[in-house]
Structure 1
Amino acid sequence: MAASLLACGIDPEQSILFQQSQVSEHVELSWILGCLTSMPRLRHLPQWKMKSKQKNEGSVGLYTYPVLQAADILLYKSTHVPVGEDQVQHLELAQDLARIFNHRYGDLFPEPRALLSSTRKVKSLRDPFSKMSKSDPQSMATINLTDSPDNIALKIRRAVTDFTSEVTFDPEMRPGVSNLVSIHASMAMVSVEEALSQAQGLDTGAYKQLVAEAVIQRLTPVREEMERLRADRGHLEAVLARGAHRARELAAPVLREVRQRVGFS
């Protein structure tokens, strides 16, 4: 994960990169916030509903995970959080918990706002009604940063579309083709309109090749940099260690303030 974030352009001098498990303040704040959260509030969150159905019985960790996410955000008094569309409801829980805590114990936490990209949700290549997910059991459904150019081309070539050859953007009626247009626009860093302009005269089969080329061109430097970074484990560990130290410096005084306000000695 650290290698992928660095390869995607995260600068550890400007952003604090660390392993959450190395900063114990996260779980302590999570427990305190959990005492302010009702079970019905968590029961209706999307990930619990989806994953508990898949497994027939979800774990306590999965059930309370959104509270830990809220702690991750509030511990640093975050004002804006980059999230995917599927995480907006979880961010709303963080907003609710900030309001509840502030009402009971005095103003401390700002209410964080969502930062959404223009591509709000990338859909599965095999089921364009579902989001693309790294946990999808269908290997052909998801493009990974570590995929080779051949694998990327194969996955996009086999992406679900429909029986109309023309390339159009209509997420409701043509979700598969529209998903490819969104991916193309995002990877080529152009608008949907420009992506459609580039697709003029192409059938969906030829357009898939164009999309694959855009994805390969964008992701190949990332994959190569990931491989380079993963070969230098010492560097990655040093970056994470420095990040954990800086994160604890920020987290510790906030948690001390929380403990004092709720009445812990």
Structure 2
Amino acid sequence: MTRLSAITPSGHVQLGNYLGAVRRWATQGTEQDVYFISDLHGMTTPHNPQRLRSLTREQLAVLLAAGVEPRSVFVQSDLVRELGALTWVLECTCTYGEAARMIQFREKAAGQSSVRLGLLTYPVLMAADILLQGADEVPVGEDQAQHVELARALARRFNGTYGEVFVVPNPVTPPSAARVRDLSDPSRKMAKSAEDSAGVVFVLDPPELVERKVRRAVTDNLGQLRYAPQTQPGLANLLEILAACTGKAPAELADSVGSYAELKNAVAEAVVEELRPIRAATMALLDDPAELDRIRAAGAVRARERSQHRLAAALRLSGIG
């Protein structure tokens, strides 16, 4: 069974990405799982080409440094020809209404006088990502579930019209993971694309910067060390981060420290130690571009081999192969 997941290079990989997804891919992934850097998705809004290229390489290095199997990883744009061909076939299978009712498109396009067409059509590209690799399952949160439903609809429609080519993928809820919130504003998730990075811990932040960000984390003035996400979200966020790094329960950790300062020190130390080997291995890969390029090229070959027969069949049956 093939399970497919992706990460978009819209910013530097942050602690929430690592604890919530990348670490799980490394420790729980199987030989059939597929992971990719979705750099084409990073082009739906204005972007800096050099930054996109740099972030793509950085994210690839982070995944490898975290222990994700090289054979399971590739960069989306390395299959741009295959994806371009299949996306066109699927766009000719999709209706305008299906694309336009995607919630993310409506939210991001709201109030904008000029919206890139790619923002409307990228769910079809996402469907191509899924169907090209023959994914059986796609772990997604609520914000992406609608896109997997579109992939399912397009797969069924193509299969029913032209012939059986595509696996109809199933959306699955990913295993429960750390809910990492912004350290300076615990009402929002920690995000790699945040405009203000004061509360965002990035995987490649040096230890002293990680410590400074954690020690400046917003808590409250109640002075009560307890795990209460609703009434003390800042404190709960720190406890959840520490729990993710230590494997202990947040409530148990709340009973083990004597002050907010002691908790922040414990979180800073745990995060620094959790990220230390990942940061070192990532920097080593980035300092060896030839090796990173070799791994990337091999990943592209494997991804292309997985998809060749499926693309050829789709083109042939739709009348253009």
TM-score range, shorter chain: 0.7 to 0.9
In the alignment, the residues of structure 2 paired with residue 96 and residue 149 of structure 1 have an alpha-carbon distance, to the nearest angstrom, of 47
Q: SS at the partner of 2:138?
A: strand
The amino acid of 1:210's aligned partner reads A
RMSD: 2.5
Task: Establish whether residue 7 from structure 1 lines up as the match of residue 80 from structure 2.
Answer: no
1:40-86 deviation per Cα after TM superposition (whole angstroms, max 9, x unaligned): 44445454345445966432222322221221111111112344554
The amino acid of 2:195's aligned partner reads P
Name the % identity. 37
Deviation at residue 92 of structure 1 after TM alignment: 3.1
In the alignment, the residues of structure 2 paired with residue 102 and residue 238 of structure 1 have an alpha-carbon distance, to the nearest angstrom, of 36
In the alignment, the residues of structure 1 paired with residue 278 and residue 111 of structure 2 have an alpha-carbon distance, to the nearest angstrom, of 32
Relative to structure 1, is the Cα distance of residues 245 and 59 closer, same or farther in structure 2, using a 3 angstrom cutoff?
Answer: same
- The residue that corresponds to 2:254 in the other structure is 199
TM-score (norm 2): 0.72
In the alignment, the residues of structure 2 paired with residue 181 and residue 246 of structure 1 have an alpha-carbon distance, to the nearest angstrom, of 41
1:157-176 aligned within 5 A: 157-176=215-234
- The residue that corresponds to 2:266 in the other structure is 210
The amino acid of 1:197's aligned partner reads E
Relative to structure 1, is the Cα distance of residues 237 and 176 closer, same or farther in structure 2, using a 3 angstrom cutoff?
Answer: same
1:1-265 aligned within 5 A: 1-13=59-71, 15=72, 17-23=73-79, 24-53=81-110, 57-84=114-141, 86-107=143-164, 108-119=166-177, 121-190=179-248, 194-200=249-255, 201-265=257-321
Count the aligned residue pairs.
260
Relative to structure 1, is the Cα distance of residues 81 and 111 closer, same or farther in structure 2, using a 3 angstrom cutoff?
Answer: closer
8 Å CA contact 2:182–2:199 kept in 1: the answer is yes
Q: SS at the partner of 1:81?
A: strand
Structure 2 gap segments, 5+ residues each: 1-58
The amino acid of 2:247's aligned partner reads M
The amino acid of 2:254's aligned partner reads A
Deviation at residue 149 of structure 1 after TM alignment: 1.3
1:201-235 deviation per Cα after TM superposition (whole angstroms, max 9, x unaligned): 43333322222222111111100111111111100
Deviation at residue 12 of structure 1 after TM alignment: 1.5
The amino acid of 1:218's aligned partner reads E
In the alignment, the residues of structure 2 paired with residue 60 and residue 26 of structure 1 have an alpha-carbon distance, to the nearest angstrom, of 17
TM-score (norm 1): 0.85
In the alignment, the residues of structure 2 paired with residue 211 and residue 55 of structure 1 have an alpha-carbon distance, to the nearest angstrom, of 40
In the alignment, the residues of structure 1 paired with residue 302 and residue 178 of structure 2 have an alpha-carbon distance, to the nearest angstrom, of 31
